[in-house]
């Protein structure tokens, strides 16, 4: 556990060399923390950083909530793991990770559907970073900025082949032909914690989930589109590139099972 001071030679600061997780806390209860820690450990295996000790990470997350005075209501706890200190591309051997934990107030759940705009920034599905929570998030930042400039709240990102990938900070699903559809992980998609919960919820409702590679045109005939992440949960999409999208009752049913 770090003392929360970032050294000037930290590789996360200098090179984006690290991973992060954002966990929802409700009345100081860390929601799905086990799943977040497991995903961070899988990401560490991909990028070659030693994962944090789970017990210490849990303790640090709880302490961060207390220190921030966020023991009631909704809060966001961020675990940031960097590859430690060192300049240049070559890491010190061994790469000793450095963990930072912060807690901040989380916005209330939005009642209105989200508006999307397709960004020109593409996901690089050939990069391992497209499937881990890397600190290198500039593509997502620029995609969100494009969406805001277009008058939308969130960006829809395609991959290098023009296939649907995700939002700037969320996984994406759509309802069509009585089934639930979502981009496959090899489209450059993060294996979202709530994404997995949605797939399980759909199965419980007897609804098949198809993980696929699909062009943007697949959303034109959708009966409903929604986004998921740990802070928003399940949120319907109201429009894409200024075109209204229909609402689906299935989205509400899945949301109720994932809350």
Q: What is the pLDDT, as a whole number, of residue 3?
A: 56
- Distance separating the N- and C-terminal Cα atoms of the chain: 31
CA atoms of 60 and 79, how far apart (whole Å): 9
Residue 142 tokens, joined:
């620029």
All structural domains of the chain with their residue ranges: 11-105, 114-258
Signed CA dihedral, 144, 147, 153, 155: sign only: negative
Q: What is the pLDDT, as a whole number, of residue 162?
A: 97
CA atoms of 67 and 57, how far apart (whole Å): 15
Q: Which residues lie closer than 8 Å to 128 by C-beta, 6 or more apart?
A: 46, 47
Signed CA dihedral, 122, 15, 190, 108: sign only: negative
Q: What is the pLDDT, as a whole number, of residue 1?
A: 44
Half-sphere exposure of residue 121: CA atoms within 13 angstroms, side-chain side:
18
Which CATH fold topology does 114-258 show? Answer: D-amino Acid Aminotransferase; Chain A, domain 2 (3.20.10)
Q: What is the pLDDT, as a whole number, of residue 51?
A: 93
Residue 197 tokens, joined:
């919960």
Q: What is the pLDDT, as a whole number, of residue 65?
A: 97
DSSP structure string for 102-159 = EEEEPPPPP-SPEEEEE-S--B-TTSGGGGTTBS--HHHHHHHHHHHHTT-SEEEEEB
Q: Does this chain's domain 11-105 share its CATH topology with 114-258?
A: no
Place of tokens 């050294």: 7
pTM given for the model: 0.95
The residue among 13, 135, 4 whose CA lies nearest residue 84 is 13
CATH number of 11-105: 3.30.470.10
Instruction: Residue count of the chain, please give it.
Output: 259
Q: What is the pLDDT along the chain (259 residues), one digit of tens a residue?
A: 445 788 999 999 999 999 999 999 999 999 999 999 999 999 999 999 999 999 999 999 999 999 999 999 999 999 999 999 998 999 988 777 899 999 999 999 998 999 999 999 999 999 999 999 999 999 999 999 999 999 999 999 999 999 999 999 999 999 999 999 999 999 999 999 999 999 999 999 999 999 999 999 999 999 999 999 999 999 999 999 999 999 999 999 999 999 7
Contact in structure between 250 and 209 (CB atoms under 8 Å): no
Q: Report the greatest alpha carbon distance in the chain.
A: 54
CA atoms of 150 and 66, how far apart (whole Å): 39
């Amino acid at each position: 556990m770090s003392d929360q001071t970032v050294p000037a030679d930290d590789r996360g600061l200098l090179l984006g060399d690290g991973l992060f997780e954002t966990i929802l806390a409700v009345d100081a209860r860390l929601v799905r923390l086990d799943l977040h820690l497991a995903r961070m450990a899988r990401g560490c295996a991909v990028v070659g950083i030693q994962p944090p000790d789970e017990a210490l990470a849990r303790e640090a997350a709880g302490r961060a909530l207390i220190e921030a005075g966020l023991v009631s209501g909704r809060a966001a706890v961020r675990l940031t793991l960097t590859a430690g200190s060192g300049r240049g591309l070559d890491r010190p051997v061994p790469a000793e990770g450095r963990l930072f934990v912060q807690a901040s107030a989380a916005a209330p759940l939005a009642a209105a559907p989200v508006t999307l705009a397709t960004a020109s920034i593409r996901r690089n599905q050939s990069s391992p970073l497209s499937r881990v929570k890397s600190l290198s998030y500039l593509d997502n930042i620029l995609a969100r900025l494009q969406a805001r400039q277009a008058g939308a709240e969130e960006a829809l990102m395609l991959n290098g082949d023009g296939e649907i990938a995700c939002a700037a900070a969320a996984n994406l699903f759509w309802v069509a032909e009585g089934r639930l559809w979502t981009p496959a992980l090899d489209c450059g998609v993060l294996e979202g914690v709530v994404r997995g919960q949605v797939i399980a919820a759909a199965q419980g409702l007897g609804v098949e989930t198809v993980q696929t590679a699909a062009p943007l045109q697949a959303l034109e005939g959708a009966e409903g589109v929604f986004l998921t992440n740990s802070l928003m949960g399940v949120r319907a999409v109201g429009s894409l590139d200024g075109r209204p999208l229909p609402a689906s009752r299935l989205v509400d049913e899945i949301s109720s099972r994932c809350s």
